[in-house]
A and B are shown apart, each in its own frame.
Chain A
Amino acid sequence: MLYREALNKALDETMAMDGNVVVLGEDVGLYGGSYRVTEGLVAKYGEARLIDTPIAELSIVGNAVGMAIGGLRPVAEIMTANFALLAFDQIINHMAKLHYMSAGKIKLPMVVRFPQGVSKQLAAQHSESYEQMLAAVPGLIVLAASDVNYAYHALKYAILRDDPVIFIEHELLYNKKGEVDLSADIDPLKARIIKEGKDVTIVSYLKMVDDVMKAVPAIEEKLGISCEVIDLCSLNPVDYATLEASLKKTGRIVMVEEDHKTGGYGAQIVSWAAEKMFYTLDAPPLRIAGEDIPVPYNRQLELASIPTPDSITAQIIAWGEKHGV
């Protein structure tokens, strides 16, 4: 099953299960979604539950907030994170805070989904990542789906949970293939240990997880070590327990993210390691992240501005050799 099909299945099943689940966004109905995530759903559930909206992100999320207050379970699709900026007032001031401001009287069982990240030559205004901003907003659960199976289970969880969830996808993951284990008992708030190892903990999320996995064999061979690879999955709350257990074993942490390094989300993970795990660290933490520049349009420059399997390999090997890994 493809990543986008897994998301589609999650939507389909929750819509069948609960008549209150509605999907709204640009072209989610007749067109089947910009990335075909909602394909076929309008034929099944009708235009009342798959609502094609105007190109007005603030109103998409605003309407979703209203629907959630009124008892529906809206799933709002924003075409990309870049356009979600227009909806940030609704997301941050309303979606994240109304439950708190109403002393718990108002519940917002809603999801805002969008893809983000560098795709292929979409240029600076269409290649951004905003997990760092949203994970910093108390009141939001922020999930990042790197894996087909996780995407299915986590989206179902997000829709059925009574709290507001930001569900982040990646533009290059929609056609990723994978198995969905329907009977798997997955806690979407727990980090996934994708590969066990004993010398270095490599933490990542979203598309970078795949790039890390591509880099790992060369790193292990060159440094003669074994790497543990962890997919954070939930960016807020963070499953620090899994990270702690891993770091106690390896004593070394590498954080890989696609977003710009300054103020990037990985800084939170590394700062946690420095604050809480200082005496288990046997090497300085390494952060691999995108350059602090607007993402270039030129393909060569675009690739040079973000981590790739090759640059991840090179940086971890150089760091390892310098710090006695």
Chain B
Amino acid sequence: MAYEIRMPQLSDSMEVGKLISWKVKSGEEVKTGDVIAEVESDKAIMEVQSFKNGVVSELLVEEGAEVPVGMVIARIDTESREEVINKSEERAEELVEDERIVNKASEHVSRHAELDSASHDTTTNPKEILNQVQDDDNATLNDELLVSLVSGAASPKAKAVASRYGIDIETLQASGKLPTPAHEDDVEAVIQKRYFTPKAWRLLQTYHLSADLFRLDRKQREMDIWEYIKKYNIPLPKPLSANRKAVIATVTQAAAKPVYHLYDSIDATLLHQYENKTHTVTVWLLKLFSEAMMRHETFRTTLKGDTMQVWPHASISLAMADGEALFMPVLKAIDTLSLEETAQALQMLKTKVKNRKLSAEEMQGSTFGLSNLGMTGIARFDAMVNGNDCGIAAIGSPKDGTIAVTLTLDHRIVNGFQAAEFMQTLKALAEDETFFKGQI
């Protein structure tokens, strides 16, 4: 009987695989689990193994050729199977049982393959096969060929997985190792139990690796998986958090805005003199910017369609980081708040950021932004404009009695000259002791 080895699908995105090298020659004897070939997918190089004992009758693909998933790459003649099994009697009993089960499944597969080739000539032109695969909406050609002759009561998905790994559902159900009907989870559990330690399986899941990247002839340990990860330089996939998605959307939008930068510094003497535990530099900066915004209405302006909207209050979005998350909550109408109230509002937002309790409403309504890295020692940086704001100020660390301020401004709303005027106001306020005194 001929057992066909097909190009395996190693990842969801894999459509073709490159045959790197053959590990067997035509006429060579192979046993279950023997490596037949090395194949390169879009992610890694892996070994293709035989799920059946026999003699290699045909190698259908040249080394270096790219072959669509599901195409037959080799045929193995299994006539001499009995002989080969006799030779391997010394193997552990458990393994022999497994092999029997595996062989039974493979027989089904090869029987089906024969039926298949009897009804119509198997296409060997890779392009034609690729077309076939693409013609099928879901590209499940491989599964469809294999699945229907895996016997036992199981969901279509469970059968698809079972056929891929040579699991005989019916036999396992007879011995009570699989429930009836079997679902995908049950079959996966069999694969997991048979070939992986629990830790190794977890690692596999974490790295989104497919089980058939590994030689399924023995139990894989955690170490084996780590080896694979390091050998093939597999990255750890980290799903995007909701916050990260939001940040990506916001900064991508910001990057498309026509902005320019204005670089200057403000005097830090009074800021330091008046800062204390509750009235921090950030609180004072909010007050300073709010006052400057009240004097320059362009900094209270947003753009909506073909209209400018000038807002009556100074509302500032403030960059707040918590671990890997970044938020831009808005301190609203700071011009109406006392220094004390501003400090309280800031504290409340900090708590909400920490507890992830910010509402959508609390992240809207600003016209200008503030990002303060003053506590980190960074001398100067520039920030990206948030949401509908007309600009943002990036505050550096104090140095030689001054603090670097970089304004990033949306040129559609604020012109350079207006920005310069705003900066002058800001500098003057920072050096104006009556302003500081007036706030307390």
Q: What residues make up the interface of A, taking CB atoms closer than 8 Å to B?
A: 244, 248, 251, 276-283, 323-324
Q: What is the chain A residue whose CB lies nearest that of B158?
A: A282
Residues of A within 8 A of B183 (CB): 282-283, 323-324
Q: List 23 A-B contacts (CB under 8 A).
A: A244-B138, A251-B155, A276-B138, A277-B138, A278-B156, A279-B140, A279-B144, A279-B147, A279-B156, A279-B159, A280-B156, A280-B160, A281-B156, A282-B156, A282-B157, A282-B183, A282-B184, A282-B185, A283-B155, A283-B183, A323-B181, A324-B181, A324-B185
B126-165 CB contacts (< 8 Å) to partner A: 137-138, 140, 143-144, 147, 155-160
Q: Closest Cβ of chain B: how far from A225's Cβ, in Å?
A: 11
Q: Which of B140, B157, B159 contacts A251 (CB 8 A)?
A: B157
Task: Give chain B nearest CB distance to A182 CB in angstroms.
Answer: 9
**A251 contacts which chain B residues (CB < 8 A)?**
155, 157, 184
Q: How many A-B residue pairs have CB under 8 A?
A: 43
CB pair B160 A279 closer than 8 Å: yes
Shortest A97–chain B CB gap in Å is 28
Kindly state the separation between the CA atoms of A115 and B184 in the bound complex, as whole angstroms. Answer: 42
How far does the Cβ of B11 sit from chain A's closest Cβ, in whole Å? 13
Q: Which residues of A contact B181 (CB under 8 A)?
A: 323-324
Specify which chain B residues have a CB less than 8 angstroms from the CB of A276 in the assembled complex: 137-138
A279 to B160, CA, bound (A): 6
Which B residue sits closest to A323, measured CB to CB?
B183
In this assembly, does B374 line the interface, its C-beta being within 8 Å of a C-beta of chain A?
no
Query: CB-CB < 8 A to A279: which residues of B?
Result: 138, 140, 143-144, 147, 156-157, 159-160
Q: Judging by beta carbons under 8 Å apart, are A281 and B157 in contact?
A: yes
Give CA–CA (A283, B140) in the complex, Å. 18
Chain A contacts for B156, CB-based, 8 A: 278-282
Least Cβ–Cβ distance between B215 and chain A, in angstroms: 25
Shortest CB-to-CB span from A275 to chain B, Å, is 9
Q: Which residues of B contact A282 (CB under 8 A)?
A: 155-158, 183-185
* Smallest CB gap from B360: residue in A: A179
A276, A280, A282: residue with the most chain B Cβ atoms closer than 10 Å: A282
Question: Hey, which chain A residues are within 8 Å of B160, CB to CB?
Answer: 279-280
B33 contacts A by Cβ under 8 Å? no
Taken together as a complex, chains A and B put the C-alpha atoms of A316 and B341 apart, in Å, by: 52
Query: Are the C-beta atoms of A281 and B155 separated by less than 8 Å?
Result: yes
Residues from chain A with Cβ under 8 Å of B138 in the complex: 244, 276-277, 279-280
A222 to B203, CA, bound (A): 29
Measured between alpha carbons, how far is A153 from B409 in the docked complex, in Å? 32
Check if A324 sits within 8 Å of B186, measured CB to CB. Answer: yes
Among A244, A277, A324, find the residue whose CB has the most chain B CB atoms closer than 10 A. A324
Return A292 CB to nearest CB of chain B, in Å. 28
Main secondary structure of the interface of B (DSSP, over half): helix
What is the bound-complex CA distance between A232 and B183, given in angstroms? 27
A279 to B156, CA, bound (A): 5
B179-206 vs A, Cβ < 8 Å mask (1 yes, 0 no): 1010111100000000000000000000
Minimum CB–CB distance from B167 to chain A (whole Å) comes to 15
Additional A-B contact list (14), CB under 8 Å, known A279-B143, A279-B156: A248-B12, A251-B155, A251-B157, A251-B184, A278-B156, A279-B138, A280-B156, A281-B156, A281-B157, A282-B156, A282-B158, A282-B184, A323-B181, A324-B185
Instruction: Report Cα–Cα, A94/B154, bound state, in Å.
Output: 49
Bound: A280/B184 CA distance, A:
10
**Min CB gap A183→B, angstroms:** 9
Name the A residues within 8 Å of B144 (CB-CB): 279
Most-contacted residue by chain A among B144, B156, B159, B179 (CB, 10 A): B156
Q: How far is the CA of A244 from the CA of B12 in the complex (A)?
A: 13
Closest to A179 in B: B360
**Most chain B CB atoms below 10 A, which of A248, A279, A283, A324:** A279
Q: 7 shortest A-B CB distances, which residue pairs?
A: A282-B157, A324-B183, A279-B160, A282-B155, A279-B143, A282-B184, A279-B140
Chain A proximity of B179: nearest CB distance (Å): 7
Tell me, rounded to whole Å, the shortest Cβ–Cβ distance linking B252 to chain A.
Answer: 14
Could you say which of B12, B140, B144 has the most chain A C-beta atoms within 10 Å of its C-beta? B140
Q: Bound state CA distance, A323 and B183, in angstroms?
A: 8
Is the pair A280, B157 in contact by a Cβ cutoff of 8 Å?
A: yes
Among A244, A277, A324, the residue within 8 A (CB) of B179 is A324
Residue of B nearest to A274 (CB): B156
Once the chains are docked, how many angstroms separate the CA of A323 from the CA of B185? Answer: 12
CB of A246 to closest CB in B, whole Å: 14
List residues of chain B with CB within 8 A of the CB of A323: 155, 181, 183
Q: Give chain A nearest CB distance to B389 CB in angstroms.
A: 16
Instruction: Name the residue on A nearest B159 (C-beta).
Output: A279
Complex CA distance for A156 and B156, rounded to whole angstroms: 42
Least distance between A181 CB and chain B CB atoms (Å): 11
Residue of A with least CB distance to B154: A282
Chain A residues contacting B185 (CB-CB under 8 Å) are 282, 324
Chain A residue contacts of B159, Cβ below 8 A: 279
Q: How far is the CA of A279 from the CA of B147 in the complex (A)?
A: 9
Distance of A248 Cα from B138 Cα, bound (Å):
10
CB B171 to nearest CB in A, in angstroms, measures 20
* A276 vs B158: C-alpha distance when bound (angstroms): 16
Residue of chain B at shortest CB distance from A248: B12
Taken together as a complex, chains A and B put the C-alpha atoms of A323 and B181 apart, in Å, by 8
Q: How far is the CB of A254 from chain B (nearest CB, A)?
A: 15
Q: How far is the CB of B181 from chain A (nearest CB, A)?
A: 8
Give min CB distance, B266 to chain A, whole Å. 36
Query: How near does chain A come to B33, taking the closest CB pair, in angstroms?
Result: 26
Closest residue of chain B to A324 (Cβ to Cβ) is: B183
Complex contacts, B158 vs chain A, CB 8 Å: 282
Instruction: Give bound CA distance, A279 to B155, whole Å.
Output: 8
Cα–Cα, bound, A244→B179 (Å): 28
- Complex: how many Å from CA A324 to CA B140? 24
Contacts of B12 in A (CB 8 A): 248
What residues of A have a CB within 8 angstroms of the CB of B137 in the complex?
276
Would you give the shortest CB distance from B305 to chain A, in whole angstroms?
Answer: 9
Cα A280 to Cα B143 with chains together (Å): 10
User: Considering the complex, which residues of chain B in the window 224-279 have a beta carbon less than 8 Å from any beta carbon of chain A?
Assistant: none
A248: chain B residues within 8 A (beta carbon): 12
> What CA separation (Å) do A283 and B186 show in the bound complex?
13
> Which residues of the other chain, B, contact A281 by a CB distance below 8 angstroms?
155-157
List of A residues within 8 angstroms of B140 by Cβ: 279-280
* Shortest beta-carbon distance from A118 to chain B in Å: 34
